Structure 1
């Protein structure tokens, strides 16, 4: 049943992406081949959307639909995740992933892009802005890891005790973990949720290696002043994975950064309140146009 459910889940998410106008392609980035969703007018301002640890490009699809009319939207599946696949020892640090995102831009003929990232994807996006400043026009950092949390989240406390809530030994552990990821999760039928749970169990060792490569590695606390592009920091006020107090670290460290928080929302605003989050992002982008 879980294998069938997995195929149904993949088909459903692919169909939704296509319905919104997102096309699938693969991009060779040298040490990996990444699965990428792309849509919108080819000559429009490009926007790159980066998912978090253990997630995939699907988490951005309902947010992306609100940008496709007047932006070229690119949603890579980061190495080690989803259809991009996992290779032991490849290297999954934020700088390594940022280099791969830059390679995606090269392949697609994009000089600079607005770059948005959630959680680990935010870490990668900010690292891209620091290590490859000529490639980033603006940043959207959503519930991003990569800096010290002033107050530890529920997940951070678990990490300090040697437990990683993302690493599941049994599908029975999935409901508690899933509840940590979102305060307002979109509807997902039970049999599809079971398929996602089984996938987490199957990928446990892979996720452990990815976590070891990026968590607490090459943090940006002392480098935030090097981010010199307009930045919007957004956060769910009920985030249990990365404490909302962390938004202040990003906003205080990046000159001119703005902050938006969402009451009743957890770690993934772009999936929990996609229309609202996209509207705030569009307003931010519109403000950049008026500024410059």
Structure 2
């Protein structure tokens, strides 16, 4: 019995000491496995300032290339379960935006929206792509909208999922926190991360606690980097005066329960972009492609097949 107690104590001690590290291993391995299962290859593309790490898959179809842009503090992996529905008949490109994921962060590297958008033009040039179907979530939606307004010849269609870039008629939970001087993305503890995670999605997919602990640790380690990126992109020119310059067929999608960017912003996008189509998703939060990847993929494919003319 004494030996059993010692073994149990050692196991508890090992688990406690390796908990976040083990979570990192599980998380990274599961993401790599999913990418492999969905036939998405990791490819580093050399642009002017950096090597931009991407997932890429699908046939080389010039008129069916989709560029998927993640939001602030996220990375390319959030698109995996959505992207798998398009790799058979579309070329799919999913970058880690500058300062995020495996592309990495450089202090003073420039993370405002115009600079991020120009990096996407460089990425398209390196990939040999003329026109692209753009889909972006949150900050990625802001970048996508900026691209569509400033480089209309490069955008075949635009889809915005809970996009940043416009003032909100009604304050979100995050908006009230920012007004009070607190940014929920700047995580100091596991408790802070749990609060942030609860704000990002209304019905998140199941994730083991050990993996959530690892992600929380990464947020804490990147706190200063995220602060610089947030300040840069948050100070960018709003899209308000540029919406009428977006000529591509546009789909605006918003989760009714979004706590980061209030659903009242959706109508501003739809009203400002000529001919835009608006879809409000009930029971969904800030990340429709993560919360309901199959349903969101079906909606997006229907939009691609019958775009507004």
Q: Taking structure 1 as the reference length, what is the TM-score of the superposition? A: 0.97
Between the aligned partners of 1:6 and 1:102, the Cα distance in structure 2 is: 33
Give yes or no for the alignment of 1:78 onto 2:87.
Answer: no
After TM superposition, list the pairs within 5 Å mapping 1:167-246 onto structure 2: 167-246=186-265
- Quick one: which of 171, 176, 181 aligns to 1:162? 181
Between the aligned partners of 1:161 and 1:133, the Cα distance in structure 2 is: 38
Between the aligned partners of 1:30 and 1:134, the Cα distance in structure 2 is: 22
After TM superposition, list the pairs within 5 Å mapping 1:1-292 onto structure 2: 1=18, 2-43=20-61, 45-288=64-307
Between the aligned partners of 1:57 and 1:266, the Cα distance in structure 2 is: 19
Between the aligned partners of 2:264 and 2:112, the Cα distance in structure 1 is: 24
Shift, 1:227, TM fit:
0.5
Question: Is 1:98–1:127's contact at 8 Å kept on the other side of the alignment?
Answer: yes
Shift, 1:117, TM fit:
0.2
Question: Is 2:22–2:210's contact at 8 Å kept on the other side of the alignment?
Answer: no
> What RMSD, in angstroms, separates the aligned Cα atoms of the two structures?
1.1
Moved over 2 A (4+): none
* Residues 167-176 or 109-118, more deviating: 167-176
Between the aligned partners of 2:187 and 2:282, the Cα distance in structure 1 is: 29
Deviations 1:119-140 (A, max 9, x none): 0000000011112221111100
Deviations 1:229-282 (A, max 9, x none): 100000110000000010001100000000111111100000000001110000
Q: Extract unaligned runs of 5+ from structure 1.
A: none
Question: Is 1:234–1:260's contact at 8 Å kept on the other side of the alignment?
Answer: yes
Q: Taking structure 2 as the reference length, what is the TM-score of the superposition? A: 0.92
Question: How many pairs are equivalent?
Answer: 290
SS in 2 for 1:86: coil
